[in-house]
Structure 1
Amino acid sequence: MVNIGYHTAKMHGKFNRSVYKAAISQIVSIPIKQSRKVSISVYALSCERDLPEQVASIRSFIRHVGIPDTFTVVSDGSYTDSSCNLLCRIHPCVEVIPLQKFVRTDLPQCVLDYAQLHPMGKKLSALMSIPVNGTTIYTDSDILFFPGGIDLGNLSKSDNKYSLYLPDCSSSLDERIIYDDSERLNPVNGGFIVFRHELDWTFAIERLANLQETPSYFTEQTIVHLTMHHNHGVPLCSKKYVLNVEDQFIYPDKFASKKNALRHYVSDVRHKFWFNAGI
C-alpha cells in the first residue's frame, strides 16, 4: 500500500524548497526582526548544494536565539562568489571563510588525509580548527532553530565548564574505531556542539591514525562521539534539542514546537525542514 502521507510530505518539502531557492536573493534582503544580542560565536560548514538550507538556518538562529558575535560559514570550497556575497547579506554578523584558510596548519596528518578523501573528513578538520573563546557553537546547515532557542542565550551565561552535545537517536558509529562495548553508549550527533573550551582530540585521533582501512562517512561522527565523552561532555535535553526520525513516514512534523530550541533535520526527515523554514 502506498503511504500517501509520506509521499505527500516529500513533495511538499521539495516544492517549498524550490520556491525558497528561487526567491533566495530577495529573502536575504528581508530584515530579521531581532535586537537581542547573545555572546556566542557560531560556526557552520556547508556547500553550494546546501545554500537554501544554510540561509534558512542562519535566519532562524538570529530570529529565535539572537544576534551572535559572529556567524561564520566555512565553505567547503564549492560556494561561488555570488553565494558568499548572498550569505553575507543576511546580517552583518555573517562572514564566509574558505575551508583552506580556516583549517589549522598543525592538524594531524591522518586528519588532513581524511579531508582529502571524504567530505566528512573536511568537517572533522573544520571542527578541530574552531577557535573557542567563550561559548562557541558548531551547527550543521540542516538545523532549524525555534523560539525555545532563547535557551542558548542562557547557556552562554552559564558557569558550566563542560561542552554540550546533541544526543543521537541511533548509534551511527564506525565500529572499526570502537574498541569496547561501553564506548557505544550515549551516542553523540556531530551536527550540533556547544563548546565551552577547546577539546582534547588526541584520544580519538589515535584511533584514526591506527585505522588501516579508508575512513568512511561515520568515522567523523565516531571521532566526535569518542572525543566528547573523553572530555566529559554533557548531553543537551533531547526533548528540547531534537534529533528524532519517528515521524519519518507520516505527513506532519511532530517535533516542530515553539518550546523547542532546535531540530536537526537529518536525511530521513530532511523534507520536513521546509515545512518550518519560513523567511
Structure 2
Amino acid sequence: MVNIGYHTAGFQGKINRAFYKSKIAKTVRIALNTTQKVPLNVYALSCERDLAEQVASIRSFISNVGIPETFTVISDGSYTDLSCQLLRRIHPCVEVISIQKFLKPNLPQCVSDYAQVHPMGKKLSALMSIPVHGATIYTDSDILFFPGGIDLVELANSDRQVCHYLQDCSNSLDGRILYEDTEKLNPVNAGFILFKHELDWNFAIKRLANLAETPSYFTEQTIVHLTIHHNHGVPLCSQKYVLSNIDQFVYSDKFASKEIALRHYVSDVRNKFWLNAQN
C-alpha cells in the first residue's frame, strides 16, 4: 500500500527547497526583525551543496535565539565566492572562513589523515579547532531553531561550566573504537554542541590513532561521543532539543512548535526541514 503522506511530504520538501534556493539572493537581503543580542559565538561547517539549508538555519537562529557575537560558517572548501557573499549578507554577525585557514596547525596526525580521506574527518578537525571563549555553539546546517531556543541564552549565562550535547535517537557509532559495551550508552549526536570550556580530546583520539582500518562516516561522531562523556557532558532536554525520526512516514512534522528550541533534521526526515523553513 502506498504511503501517501510520506511521499507527499517528500515531494513537498523538494518543491519548497527548490523555491527557497531560487530566491536565496533576495532572502538574504530581507532584514531580520530582532535586536536581541546573545552572549554566544556560533560555528557551522557546511558546503556549497547545503547553501540553502545553511542560510535558513542561520536566519532561524538569529530570529528565534538572537544575534550572536559571531556566526562563523566554516567552508569545507567548496563554497563559491558568490555563496560566501550571500552568507555574509544575512547579517553583519555572519562571517565565512575556509577550513584551511580555520584549522589549528597542531592537530594530531591521525585526525589530519582522517580529514584527507573522509568529509567527516574534516568535521572532526573543525570541531577540535573551535576556539572556546565563553559559551560557544557548534551547529550543523540541517538544524532549524524555534522560539524555545531562547532557552540557550539561559544556558549561555549559567555559571555551570559543562558541555551540553544533543541526544541521538539511535546508536550511530563506530563499534571499532568502543572497547566496552557501556560506552554505547547515552549516544551523542555531533550535530549540535554547546561548549562552555575547551574539551580534552586525548582519550578518544588515542582510539582513533590505534584504529588499524580506515575511519568511516560514524567514526567522527564516535570520537565526539567518547570525548563529551569523558568530559562529563550533560544531555540537552530531548523534548526541547529534538532529534527524532518517529514521524518519518507521515506528512506532518510532529515536533515543530514554538515550545521547542531546535530540531535536527537528519537524513530520514530532511524533507520536513523544508516544511518549516521561513524567509
Which one-letter code corresponds to 1:59 in the other structure? R
Secondary structure of the 1:154 match is helix
**Alignment partner, residue 231 of structure 1:** 231
**Alignment partner, residue 270 of structure 1:** 270
**Alignment partner, residue 57 of structure 2:** 57
What TM-score does the superposition give when structure 2 sets the normalisation length? 1.00
Are residue 214 (structure 1) and residue 237 (structure 2) matched?
A: no
**Alignment partner, residue 79 of structure 1:** 79
**Distance in 2, Cα, partners of 1:218 & 1:9:** 27
**Distance in 1, Cα, partners of 2:152 & 2:159:** 13
**Distance in 2, Cα, partners of 1:128 & 1:145:** 24
Secondary structure of the 1:217 match is coil
Total equivalences in the alignment:
279
Structure 1 segments, 4+ long, off by >3 Å, are: none
**Distance in 2, Cα, partners of 1:255 & 1:213:** 39
Give deviations 1:202-246, integer Å, cap 9, x for gaps.
000000000000000000000000000000000000000000000
Secondary structure of the 1:173 match is coil
**Alignment partner, residue 246 of structure 2:** 246
**Distance in 2, Cα, partners of 1:210 & 1:264:** 31
**Alignment partner, residue 151 of structure 1:** 151
Secondary structure of the 1:36 match is coil
**Alignment partner, residue 165 of structure 1:** 165
**Distance in 2, Cα, partners of 1:153 & 1:14:** 33
Give deviations 1:115-158, integer Å, cap 9, x for gaps.
00000000000000000000000000000000000001111110
Measured on the aligned residues, the alpha-carbon RMSD in Å equals: 0.3
Sequence identity, in percent?
A: 73
**Distance in 2, Cα, partners of 1:202 & 1:267:** 30
What TM-score does the superposition give when structure 1 sets the normalisation length? 1.00
**Distance in 2, Cα, partners of 1:252 & 1:159:** 38
**Alignment partner, residue 109 of structure 1:** 109
Which one-letter code corresponds to 2:109 in the other structure? Q
**Distance in 2, Cα, partners of 1:255 & 1:245:** 10
Which one-letter code corresponds to 2:87 in the other structure? L
Secondary structure of the 2:122 match is helix
**Alignment partner, residue 38 of structure 2:** 38
Are residue 18 (structure 1) and residue 14 (structure 2) matched?
A: no
Instruction: For residue 71 of structure 1, report the CA deviation from its aligned partner.
Output: 0.0
Which one-letter code corresponds to 2:89 in the other structure? R
The runs of 5 or more residues in structure 1 that have no matched partner are: none
Instruction: For residue 268 of structure 1, report the CA deviation from its aligned partner.
Output: 0.2
